[in-house]
Structure 1
């Protein structure tokens, strides 16, 4: 902890970004927080949701399963280009399609 208090945030940021070959958004802020001792904190689901910018009430009790899915390149490019949350939108689209055929229930919006 004593080492972090003497940390030169600007020098470390410059060194890491030089090594990465690009600017790293949020790096300087993360180093400032670490230097101030604000790291390894426990966060509530509400704090995480707020930090990620997701709508309140969007956290679900249902766990999701990681899968490997092969998509056509143009479909994947279009989905990724739609911005953050594209995987959730895929899930919502699949759920809506399956709900129309009566194979799954729809989740209430909230």
Structure 2
């Protein structure tokens, strides 16, 4: 993934380097078996709003990865919970 400023994007568009099409087929170049190993993720669980104190370096680490840092933090906690549950007989 490449980061670009708005002016960079405009310049790329003017040079014809960007292709956009509202009629483009999504995933048309994917192999037939692309979704065979896909895992359904249940996003219907409700989330509880909380106030959580974390070390500043931990928060900055997740924030540095871009938008969605709270979702990623939740995913890390979810992985930990799942790992701990699988250890319990």
TM-score (norm 2): 0.46
- Structure showing greater relative contact order (alpha-carbon pairs closer than 8 Å, 6 or more residues apart): 1
TM-score normalised according to structure 1 size: 0.38
